[in-house]
Amino acid sequence: MKTGLTDDIEDASVVPITGTNLSLVKNLDIFTPIVDDPEIQGEIAACNVTNDVFAMNVPEINGGMLVFLGIKNNMPLSIIEGILRGIKNFLERKINSKIVGGHTIFCGWPLIGGEASGFAKNDWIIKKSGVKNGDKLILTKPIGLQGVMASYRLLKEMPEVLNNYSKSELNKSINTAIKIMTTSNQNIVKTIHSIKDFSFIHAMSDVTGFGLAGHIEEMLQNSKLSALINKIPSIKFSKELSAELGYAFDECKSHEIAGGMLMAVDPKYLNDFTNNLSSNKIPNWTIGEIEKRDPKLVRISENVKHIEINDF
């Protein structure tokens, strides 16, 4: 499989291992802090880096994680240690992996991330492209992180802007967002691998920086197909906050971090598969379908159903 600037858009690089039926799947991700708690920030970073490997249907992070930190000269050692502790705790306690090394630099703004990799049989890999007409779209986490996490910052710096909201309810939404960003998508991959033949999953990706619609657009690459979104699960208040703060929630293009797995599934297998996910305590929503309309068009239904999520 070729991936890169001139080939298919994928969530991670895929490097075939000569003389075997295996490939090495690698991902690199770096971003700026989202929360003030260093351990939680470390968990979010580790989840975000590793989820792109899981998005290729790789069941384990076999190669561990190389951690990258960009730190300010005056950053307290306790914060650096907290970030590393959060990454370590996530890897060891949540996905049975570990830190294997890394690199640190001094810079004017904190940067957190790293590289993760895993091995997969070549026929295990589920590409981002590959959708078929009539496929149903499944999402495993609600959207709306951008608006909710903006409220996290506003509550600390300009709380008067949010006087129309219940502070306790906003904090509950923030806690839900943090739970989403620190919940690995690995269990979805384990559920897929518990099925003898999972070829009914035609395409898969995780929802991150390009938003839900942006990642669906990437799924439509190499096709003449389009997509319709008719259901949007979102964190409580995210729609209203996004409207007030100017984020593209209604177009499903607001940014997400360590978001849910997005899968295009043969409709004949939809009920069995969603029941399988639910039985493994993986939330899931059928949010739309692939159709044959204007190529690469992602439409939001005029009658789209909004589902407000209070807990995750």
Q: Decide if 113 is inside a domain.
A: yes
Q: Decide if 209 is inside a domain.
A: yes
Q: Are 39 and 85 in contact (CB under 8 A)?
A: yes
pLDDT for position 13 = 94
Please state the rounded mean pLDDT for residues 288-294: 96
pLDDT for position 8 = 81
pLDDT at 2 over 80: no
Q: Decide if 7 is inside a domain.
A: no
pLDDT for position 6 = 53
Q: Are 47 and 141 contained in the same domain? A: no
Q: Are 299 and 168 contained in the same domain? A: yes
Give tens-digit pLDDT for 131-176. 999 999 999 999 999 999 999 999 999 999 999 999 999 999 999 9
Q: Are 116 and 141 contained in the same domain? A: no
Alpha-carbon Rg for the chain in angstroms: 19
- Structural domain ending residue among the three candidates 98, 121, 144: 121
Q: Are 120 and 23 in contact (CB under 8 A)?
A: yes
CA–CA dist 296, 42 (Å, integer): 36
Please state the rounded mean pLDDT for residues 172-190: 98
Q: Are 163 and 212 contained in the same domain? A: yes
Helices (H), the chain: 38-54, 77-89, 145-157, 167-181, 186-193, 211-219, 238-245, 270-279
Q: Are 187 and 55 contained in the same domain? A: no
Q: Are 191 and 114 contained in the same domain? A: no
Q: How many domains does the chain have?
A: 2
Q: Decide if 275 is inside a domain.
A: yes
Please state the rounded mean pLDDT for residues 170-199: 98
pLDDT at 5 over 80: no
Helices (H), 8-144: 38-54, 77-89
Give tens-digit pLDDT for 193-228. 999 999 999 999 999 999 999 999 999 999 999 999
pLDDT for position 9 = 85
Q: Decide if 50 is inside a domain.
A: yes
pTM: 0.95
Tokens matching residue 284: 């899931």
Q: Are 77 and 177 contained in the same domain? A: no
Q: Decide if 36 is inside a domain.
A: yes
Q: Decide if 231 is inside a domain.
A: yes
Please state the rounded mean pLDDT for residues 98-124: 96
Q: Are 189 and 117 contained in the same domain? A: no
Q: In whole angstroms, how far apart are CA 95 and each of 51, 183, 194?
A: 11, 10, 17
CA–CA dist 270, 40 (Å, integer): 35
**pLDDT band with cut points at 50, 70 and 90 for residue 7:** low
CA–CA dist 112, 71 (Å, integer): 9
CATH code assigned at 34? 3.30.1330.10
Q: Are 140 and 112 contained in the same domain? A: no
CATH code assigned at 143? 3.90.650.10
Q: Are 74 and 200 contained in the same domain? A: no
pLDDT for position 101 = 96
Q: Are 91 and 171 contained in the same domain? A: no
pLDDT for position 190 = 98
- Structural domain ending residue among the three candidates 121, 155, 187: 121
**pLDDT band with cut points at 50, 70 and 90 for residue 63:** confident
- Structural domain ending residue among the three candidates 75, 93, 121: 121
Q: Are 95 and 240 contained in the same domain? A: no
Boundaries of domain holding 43: 13-121
Give tens-digit pLDDT for 12-32. 999 999 999 999 999 999 999
Portion of the chain with pLDDT greater than 90, in percent: 95
